[in-house]
Amino acid sequence: MSSTNATQAAPSRPKEFLSRFHVSTWQSQRLQQRVTHTLSHLILISGAVVMVLPFLWMLATSFKAPGKTFVYPPEWIPAPFIWENYPNMWTALPFGQFFINSIKIAGLTMIGQLVTCSMAAFAFSILKFRAREILFLLLIATLMIPYQVTLIPTFILFSKIGWVGTHLPLWVPAFWGGAFGTFLLRQFYLTIPLDLAESARIDGASIWQIFRHIYIPLSGPAMAALAIFTFMWSWNDLLNPLIYVTELDQLTLTIGLSFFQNQYGGKWTLMMAGAVVSILPILVIFFFAQKYFIQGIAMTGLKR
């Protein structure tokens, strides 16, 4: 009987061993995944903290008294809060006019890029015409030309037509298109099936109707990404307003902050208050459009 039982139990031992081995392997893999996820999150959180600390110091300094700017250890929570820094900053220079000028220029630049780049991207991705690929490569090749190369010729051109001293050179070129925006939207348009355009064409829709009623509604994420990029670039632009703007009431917020630093270099609390005001529009736009922004960046790398 004992030998019979031993013979019957023998085949079950390898099965038990294999099942225990698979369970232990699965548990070790789960443990390894948890450790990897934990370490990844710790690294990302550490990087986020390092990135946020300068912003927090700037925000805290904007509410500090003048003598507590560089105290050690740093005061992350001002005591007391000096709310007058913002009104004082606002009245030291015409920051209200600077803010309006920046909003106007950045908004018009964003609109110009969205309109012209979307049309050009639609033409390069959907329409068939001679030398389309060559023209697109020539357009993309302009991205390799440094801005400093075209700075002087552009200034001479605008000075000849009398635009120097106005806001026109800061936003009108946006309505002439752009290589980056055209490339970004073209890559997104390539992900839209051609069957939609062909079906609309069979139903009698024109090219403009296909563009207006099919491609524009479907390109919301890519348009949002381009809008954020364009608005942020125009809002933070320092060189072009410095070259073309000559009057105080025409300055943008970036030039106003630079001018404020030269005039009130030692008043760090007022300068930090102005810096906080200057980045608020970017934060607000990114907060409300971040969903479409991430979708646009993720989907423009896909191809049909």
Most confident region among 100-104, 246-250, 276-280, 282-286 by mean pLDDT: 100-104
Does residue 161 fall inside a structural domain? Answer: yes
143 domain-assigned: yes
Phi, psi of 203 (to 5 degrees): -75, 0
Tell me the average pLDDT of the chain.
82
Bond into 73 cis (ω within 30): yes
- On whether both 141 and 286 belong to a single domain, the answer is yes
Using one digit for the tens of pLDDT, what is the confidence trace for 198-214?
A: 888 888 888 888 898 88
State the pTM of this model: 0.76
Of 98, 74, 137, 117, nearest to 248 by C-alpha is 98
User: Do residues 102 and 249 make contact, with C-beta atoms less than 8 angstroms apart?
Assistant: no
Rounded to whole angstroms, the Cα distance separating 234 from 167 reads 12
pLDDT number for residue 92: 78
Residue 151 in any domain: the answer is: yes
SS3 content of the chain, % helix, strand, coil (to 5): 80, 0, 20
In a domain, 75, yes or no: no
Cβ–Cβ < 8 Å for 228, 285? yes
Same domain, 95 and 219: yes
List Cβ neighbours of 182 (8 Å cut-off, separation of 6 or more).
Answer: 117, 120, 121, 124, 139
Whether 33 is in a domain gets the answer: yes
Q: Which of 31-35, 37-41, 235-239 has the lowest mean pLDDT?
A: 31-35
Q: What DSSP character marks residue 251?
A: -
Asked whether residue 162 falls in the same domain as residue 291, the answer is: yes
The DSSP code sequence of 10-67 is TTHHHHHHHHHHHHHHHHHHHHHHHHHHHHHHHHHHHHHHHHHHHHHHHHHHTTS-GG
65 part of a folded domain: no
Phi, psi of 11 (to 5 degrees): -65, -25
Total domains in the fold of the chain: 2
Q: What is the model's pLDDT at position 297?
A: 55
pLDDT of 97 over the 70 cut: yes
Q: List all residues 6 or more positions away from 32 whose beta carbon is below 8 Å from its beta carbon.
A: none
Domain assignment present for 26: yes
Candidates 175, 75, 69, 161; CA nearest to 115 is 175
Q: Does 243 lie in the same domain as 100?
A: yes
Q: Measured between alpha carbons, how far is 251 from 259 in angstroms, rounded to an integer?
A: 10
At 136-152, the pLDDT tens digits run 999 999 888 888 888 89
- 138 and 257 in a single domain? The answer is yes
Q: Pick from 242, 250, 274: which is nearest to 92 by CA?
A: 274
Output 286 or 163, whichever has higher pLDDT.
163
Q: How many other C-beta atoms are found inside a 10 Å radius of the C-beta of residue 16?
A: 9
24 and 145 belong to one structural domain: no
What pLDDT shows up at residue 6?
47
pLDDT digits (tens, 9 = 90+) for 6-16: 444 444 555 56
Domain end (from 11, 32, 53): 53
Regarding whether 170 and 32 lie in a shared domain, the answer is no
Q: Could you tell me if 39 and 176 lie in one domain? A: no
What pLDDT sits at residue 299?
54
CATH of the domain at 246: 1.10.3720.10
pLDDT value at 169 more than 90: yes
For 95, the domain range is 85-299
In this structure, the answer to whether residues 162 and 290 fall within a common structural domain is yes
- Regarding whether 187 and 119 lie in a shared domain, the answer is yes
**112 contacts 231 by C-beta, under 8 angstroms:** no
pLDDT at 2: 46
36 and 120 part of one domain: no
Is 149 a member of any domain? yes
Together in a domain, 138 and 49: no
Measured between alpha carbons, how far is residue 87 from residues 95, 265, 296 in Å?
10, 18, 39
